[in-house]
Structure 1
Amino acid sequence: MIVDPIYGSFELEPVLNDLLQSRPVQRLRGVHQGGASYLVNPKWCVTRYEHSVGVMLLVLRMGGSVEEQIAALLHDVSHTAFSHVTDFALRNKEEDYHEQIFKRVIEESEIPKILQNYGYTTEQIFSDFSKWTILEQPSPDLCADRIDYTLRDQYHYFHLNQDEIQTLLESLTVVDGLLCFRTIDAAEKFNSLYYQEVIDFFMDPLNAYGYWKLSIAIALGLKKKILEMNDLLKEDQEIWEILQQSRDPDVRQIMKQIHPHAEVVIDEKNYDFYTKNKIRLIDPMVLQNGEKVRASSISEEVEKLNQTAIERFNRGARIRVVSFNTAK
C-alpha cells in the first residue's frame, strides 16, 4: 500500500514495490524538484521522489499498463542533484541533461536486474518513451508528468485544496491514448494553475536568484575540479557540502550568498542578472460533442493565457539584488 496526498491510497504490483526500494529511486528523496528553490525558501521542498511516485500513481489511476507505470516511476531517475540547476551550470538551454544520461544511469544500476526478475527488459520499457502516451507528451498537450508537478506544487505552495484537485482529476479522461479534459471549465482552471507554476513560481525573482547563484557555484566547482561530473548524481546535500567545504575563495563567496534572506526585485533597467527559462506552454485537449478539440479554440481565456505566457517567456526577467545579506 502506498499513500499520496494528491491521489490517495493504492496497492502496487510487486515489480513497482521493488523498484521503489532501488537505490536510483531512493536517491530522488534527496533531490529537490525545484532545484535551488528550497535553499532560498525552505517551504519550496517537494522532491523528485514525491513527483515520480505521483506520476506513477496518476498513470495507474488513468488506466496505464504496468509497463507505463514502471516508465513513470523511473522517468526522473537520472536527474542530477538540484535538478535543472545543472542545466543552468552547463548552459544547456534545452534543460535535458538528465535525458542525455538516462540510459547510462539505468544500465549502471540494479534496475535491469529487478525488471528481469519480473519478466521485463530495459529495452521493452525505455527504448521508446513516445509509446507511453499518458506519461509524456510534447508541449502543449496534457501528460501525467505536467499534471503532477503542477498539482503537487499548487497543493504544497499555493494552497490548492483537495476538492479542487479532485474536481480536476475527475474531469480527466483518456481518449485514443491521450489525456484530455471532459469540460472547458476544467481546462481553463488547469491552464491558470499551470502558468502560475511555470511563470509565477519558476520565474519568481527569489527562485531565479537561487538558480543563478547555485549554477555559478556548480560551474566553478566543475571548472576547478572541486566537483566531477559523476558527483552530480549524488543527492543535493552531498553536493552542497562538497561546495561548502571547498577552500576555494570564489566558491565559498558564492555559497555564502545562497540563503533565504537575500532580497531581490524585478528591475528592467538596473539589473544584476537576466534569466530566460525554457518555454513551457499548455493547451489541453477538451471533449466537445465526442471529439477532441484544443481548449484555445473554444476558450478566449485559454488563448489569452497562452499569448501572455509566450510574451513572458520571451521577455524573461531582469532581476536586481537589493541585498545579499551574506550568511555567516
Structure 2
Amino acid sequence: MYIEDDLCGSFKLESILEELILSAPVQRLKGIHQGGAGYLVNEKWNVTRYEHSVGVMLLIRKLGGSLEEQIAGLLHDVSHTAFSHVIDFVFEHEDEDYHEQIFHNVVENSEIPDILTKHGYRFEDILLDDTKWTLLEQPAPELCADRVDYTLRDMYRYGQITLSEATHFLDELIVIHERMYPSNIESAEWIVETYYKEVIDFFMDPLNIYANDRLAHLLKLALEKKVLTASDFLLEDAILIDRVRNTNDRELQELLKQLHPQVKVTEDRKHYHLHRKNKLRMLDPSVLHNSKWFKASSISKKVRMMGDEAYEKAVRGMYVKVL
C-alpha cells in the first residue's frame, strides 16, 4: 500500500499498517471532525481524525520511529467519539479525556487485536502504555508527533501557514534519545507561534466556541430525551446529526437550526451570551543551545511573551456575543 500525505510525503507501508488503516475503527475516523462542531458553521474547518491519525503515523515514520510506535500513532485516537472533544463538554470532562477513558474498551471490542495478533503482536503491549512511545506522546510543553501533526495540519488547511513553512519545520526537527526537538531557536519560535494560532486563535475562535457550546447542549438534551445513547457517540458525526434531524422533537430541531454557516458572533467581554474556557494548552519546547538544553522561553523573549499572552487568554476564556 502506498500512501501520500501533504505534510510528510509518500511512503510504501507494511501489510499490517494497511490492514489497520482499512479496518472499520480507523475508517470510522473519516467521519469524525477534529474541530468538533466547527464544520457545521464553517465548512473549511473540516480536518478529520483519520487524516490526523495517519499523519501522526507518518510523522513517526519520517523521524525513524519503530513500526510498533507507528501502529500506536495510527491508533492513538481510534476511540474518539463523534465530534471529538464536544463530548467532553456533554459529559463535563474538564480534562477533555473521555476518549482516553474508553480507549481500552473500544480497542478490545474491535477487530484491532485480531489484526495485531495475526502479525505477531499483542494489543496490550502496543496500545495501553503511551509512555513507551516517546515520539508519539510527550507531556506539555514539549513537542510530540500528536501535538505537531494536529497543529501543522489544521493551520495549513485553514490557511494560517504555508505548506513550505510546515515541511521546512518538519525537515528541521531533530531526534535525540527517541524524542523530537526543534533544531534551533528560530524553529522553536515558529512552532510556538503556530501552536498558539491553533489553540488560541482557532480553538478559541468565538465561532468555534459558539458551535461547540450549542452542539454540546443539543447532544446533552438528546441524551436526556433518549433520542441518543452514549454508545451512539461511537458512530460518525453525520449519523448523529441525521438522528437528531429526523426526530420530531421541536426543541432539538430548534437547537439544530442554530448551527449553520450564516451564524455571526463576536468577542464581547461586557455584553456576551456565553463564556467558555478550554483546557489549558501551552508549548515551550526544549532547545539545544551552545551545547546545553534550555527551554525556548529562557533564551527567547518572543517565546516568553507569546506564552504569557496565550496563558492570559486561556485563563480568561472567550466571551461570545451572538449578533
Relative to the length of structure 2, the TM-score reads 0.98
Residue type of the alignment partner of 1:86: I
CA contact (8 A) 1:179 1:285 kept: no
Q: For residues 299 and 109 of structure 1, what CA distance do their matches in structure 2 show?
A: 47
User: Secondary structure at the residue paired with 1:225?
Assistant: coil
- CA shift for structure 1 position 67: 0.5
2:154 paired with 1:153: yes
CA contact (8 A) 1:31 1:83 kept: yes
User: Secondary structure at the residue paired with 1:173?
Assistant: strand
Q: For residues 176 and 133 of structure 1, what CA distance do their matches in structure 2 show?
A: 9
CA contact (8 A) 2:21 2:27 kept: yes
- CA shift for structure 1 position 295: 0.6
Relative to the length of structure 1, the TM-score reads 0.97
2:263 paired with 1:262: yes
Q: For residues 119 and 77 of structure 2, what CA distance do their matches in structure 1 show?
A: 21
Q: Which runs of 5+ in 2 are unaligned?
A: none
Residue type of the alignment partner of 2:114: K
- CA shift for structure 1 position 159: 4.6
User: Secondary structure at the residue paired with 1:93?
Assistant: coil
Q: How many residues align?
A: 322
1:284-303 superposed matches below 5 A: 284-303=285-304
Which residue is equivalent to 1:217? 218
Which residue is equivalent to 1:315? 316
Which residue is equivalent to 1:68? 69
Structure 2 vs 1, CA of residues 107 and 282 (structure 1 numbering), >3 Å: closer, same or farther? same
Which residue is equivalent to 2:232? 231
Q: For residues 66 and 289 of structure 1, what CA distance do their matches in structure 2 show?
A: 34
CA contact (8 A) 1:36 1:207 kept: yes
- CA shift for structure 1 position 288: 1.5
Q: For residues 82 and 50 of structure 2, what CA distance do their matches in structure 1 show?
A: 12
Task: Report the RMSD for the aligned CA atoms in angstroms.
Answer: 0.9
1:1-328 superposed matches below 5 A: 1-322=2-323
Q: For residues 204 and 127 of structure 1, what CA distance do their matches in structure 2 show?
A: 34
Task: Report sequence identity in percent.
Answer: 51
Residue type of the alignment partner of 1:264: V
- CA shift for structure 1 position 130: 0.7
1:103-124 per-residue CA deviation (whole Å, 9 max, x = no partner) reads 0000000000000011000111
User: Secondary structure at the residue paired with 1:287?
Assistant: strand
- CA shift for structure 1 position 251: 0.9
CA contact (8 A) 2:73 2:136 kept: yes
User: Secondary structure at the residue paired with 1:39?
Assistant: helix
Residue type of the alignment partner of 2:210: Y
Residue type of the alignment partner of 2:126: I
Q: Which runs of 5+ in 1 are unaligned?
A: 323-328
1:236-286 per-residue CA deviation (whole Å, 9 max, x = no partner) reads 000000111122221111001111111111111111110100000000111
- CA shift for structure 1 position 234: 0.2
Q: For residues 256 and 118 of structure 1, what CA distance do their matches in structure 2 show?
A: 48
Structure 2 vs 1, CA of residues 159 and 314 (structure 1 numbering), >3 Å: closer, same or farther? closer
Q: For residues 216 and 124 of structure 1, what CA distance do their matches in structure 2 show?
A: 38
